[in-house]
């Protein structure tokens, strides 16, 4: 059995995005040593190796706004969607490849349901990858915990997808509602700023799978699979104090 202490060495970077604005903002987390990837735009192509930073974006908007003609799911980088002119928001992240990271989006001043309530993660241009739109919130429910997997082949991003656990993490906890048999949701009116006392900040666990440009295998997905039952939230004291105290058996 692993306990949170043995996990900390796997998780050496946390990215807190402080800017959620109408356009792309400068990247908050700066590259540490070992970076060879000098592509900082989420709308450009790159090939990565382990130890690189990798920039991707998350767009927040309504579900239909991610589709062209209501049928074709496009990357938010694609101008044909016209997302920049809509009621949408973007945030940028630059995690380190093959490290499990927890992205945190503070919802104290940013209510996702004000921007359509869905999000799409994306990166790349010619080799654009985008996730399916994930429901975050409406006036009734908010989903606060997500796992995002980025799959690379020879260092090129192939696929971004949301990994769901079928509500295993909230089974039996009456503070949560299981939506569509896949997402653990809190009632929006119980959130701070919405009439309640719960910090409904979003947490996105990141994992990498596949191979880098030297064909080295990216392993962090394997680790997340195995660690799933120990949510990464528990490892971050700042998040922990604001999140764990709210529900005794949240973690």
Ligand X SMILES: *[C@@H]1O[C@H](CO)[C@@H](O)[C@H](O)[C@H]1NC(C)=O
Under the rule (CB under 6 A), what is the footprint of ligand X?
Answer: 68-69, 72, 104, 106, 108, 135, 138-141, 179, 199, 201, 239, 242
Paired residues of 123 in beta bridges: 129
Closest distance to ligand X from the beta carbon of 245 (Å): 11
Which CB sits closer to ligand X, 140 or 226? 140
CB atoms within 10 A of CB 23: 8
Which CB sits closer to ligand X, 102 or 218? 102
For residues 98 and 219, the answer to whether their CB atoms sit within 8 Å is yes
| Both structure tokens of 214 | 């030297």
Nearest to 125 by CA among 71, 74, 68, 66: 74
Which CB sits closer to ligand X, 2 or 68? 68
Give CA 7 to chain center in angstroms. 20
The contacts of residue 79 (CB under 8 Å, 6+ apart) are: none
Closest distance to ligand X from the beta carbon of 48 (Å): 29
Return phi, psi of residue 115, to 5°.
-120, 30
Which CB sits closer to ligand X, 75 or 242? 242
CB atoms within 10 A of CB 187: 18
Closest distance to ligand X from the beta carbon of 161 (Å): 19
Closest distance to ligand X from the beta carbon of 249 (Å): 19
Closest distance to ligand X from the beta carbon of 250 (Å): 13
Which CB sits closer to ligand X, 72 or 215? 72
């Amino acid at each position: 059995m692993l306990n949170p202490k043995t996990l900390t060495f796997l998780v050496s970077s946390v990215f807190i995005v402080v800017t959620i604005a109408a356009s792309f903002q400068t990247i908050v987390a700066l590259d540490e040593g070992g970076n060879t990837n000098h592509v900082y735009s989420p709308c450009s192509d790159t090939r990565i190796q382990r130890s690189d930073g990798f920039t991707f974006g998350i767009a927040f908007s309504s579900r239909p706004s991610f589709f062209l003609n209501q049928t074709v799911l496009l990357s938010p980088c694609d101008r044909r969607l016209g997302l920049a002119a809509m009621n949408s928001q973007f945030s940028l992240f630059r995690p380190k490849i093959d490290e499990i990271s927890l992205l945190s989006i503070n919802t104290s001043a940013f209510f996702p349901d004000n921007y359509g309530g869905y999000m799409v993660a994306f990166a790349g241009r010619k080799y654009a990858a985008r996730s399916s739109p994930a429901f975050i919130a409406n006036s009734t429910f908010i989903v606060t915990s997500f796992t995002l997997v980025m799959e690379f082949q020879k260092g090129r991003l192939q696929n971004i997808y949301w990994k769901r656990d079928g509500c295993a993490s909230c089974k039996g906890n009456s503070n949560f509602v299981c939506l569509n048999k896949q997402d653990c949701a809190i009632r929006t009116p119980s959130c701070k700023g919405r009439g309640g006392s719960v910090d409904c900040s979003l947490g996105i666990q990141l994992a990498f799978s596949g191979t880098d440009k030297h064909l080295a295998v990216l392993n962090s997905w394997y680790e997340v699979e195995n660690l799933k039952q120990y949510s990464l939230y528990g490892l971050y004291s700042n998040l922990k104090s604001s999140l764990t105290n709210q529900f005794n058996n949240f973690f």
